[in-house]
Structure 1
Amino acid sequence: MTIDWWTLGLQTINVLILVWLLGRFFWRPVAAIIEQRRAAAQQILAEAEAKCNEASAALADIEKTRAGFAQERETVLAAAHEEGERERGARLQAAATEAESQQAAARAAMQKEQALAEKAFADRASRLAVEIAGRLVARLDGAAPRAAFLDWLLKEIRDLPDATRQAVAADGVTLEAISAAPLDPTDEERYRKLIAEALGAQPRIVFKADPGLIAGLELRGPQLVVNNSWRSDLDRILADLTHDNRI
């Protein structure tokens, strides 16, 4: 077998020219296009990765915001529950205070009504007792009670201050001697003499009768009033009883 070196050389040259032509006019544009496509693909991938990262970040923000909302919701619910409990406690306390105040007011009103009722009952009892005593005393009529009241009147006159007796002794002074029943002229003259001796003066004395005294003898004038009767005694007793009832 013989080798045709010229043919082989020409074929080799043809292959080299073909490779050069392919490399210059085919492979380089194809490689450039491939590189462009690869760069575009890389850019798309990079953009997609960036979008994915953005989406992941947004999702993380959403989850964070949702967690914040949940926490804020729990905080709001806890604060609302605490406020509700505090307001409920305040209302219960206010209701208890109001109920206690109403109970205290009711007790005070009951005590006041009871005190008023007791006072009214005591006053009625006192007045009734005084009235009964007055009716019983009114049946005591005679020389002995009149003599006793005359002695008491003369003693009270003697116990008066000197200035009072001197004022009564002034000229023109008229005194009233008041008895429960009218006195006969003899008794009037005797009473007038005894009263003048007790006063140490000779005033003008007018005798009058007042059944309201029940029994007794009183002396009244511009400068003095000597209460000396069952009526005045009963009034004083009633005043003392009423005062004790108030206490």
Structure 2
Amino acid sequence: MKKLDPGLSAIGLLVLFAALACMLAVSLPLVKSDPSVHTSDWLGFSGSIIGALIALTAAMIAIKPVKSQLAEMTRQNDHVSHERLCDRAAKLTNELSLITTVAAKIDVVQIAMADVNVDAVDKTVAFAAYEQACDELNDCVKDLQVARGFVWGTSQQQANRDHFIDTCLTVSSASMRYATKVRMQTRLASIIAKNEVADFEKCRGRVWQGIPKIHSDLQIALARTRSFISRLEERLFDE
């Protein structure tokens, strides 16, 4: 059995009450009044009632196109919100992937750095591999820096995220400075290079300490975004 529209049911009740009020307002004075009632006594009042009924009828006629227009506006807003949320989900997913990639590249740089310091290894080959690892890390960190332009999360989450990205930039910078010192091949540069290794290891530890928190925050933000998307798609595509 088809259910009645709640809006139409309410309007129907309103019409019934209006008709009842009109009947009572017009007929009771004629029946209950002691002196004779003249037409002029209630003609103005009944005219107002009739005018109100006409206005109510016009509203009933107009309500359907108004409802259709409101429904169309709602659908348009849902489409806009859906596009924005999908874009947000894509950016969050990309940043999540970048964080994982940066962490992996940092470990690759660490391994290549250790190979450069091993005497038994061909220095030329080891250093070439190290430079390639540094370049790949630097490219990933640049992409992460670009992703910083998309703001998400609470103020505390934003602060943690900025600190994490800054630490990644410091790690990348330390790895490049180490490559520069090794390339110089002087005793002083070799001593300074050891300090760069220490800085790299320190910053690498900070990166790995910050990964669980920012990874969790990103997953929560992504889950919320996907939840909103699913609700919108139920309204947009399951009708």
- Is TM > 0.5 for Structure 1 vs Structure 2? no
Larger Rg: 1
Q: Which has the higher strand share?
A: 1
TM-score by length of 1: 0.30
Q: Which has the higher helix share?
A: 2
TM-score by length of 2: 0.30
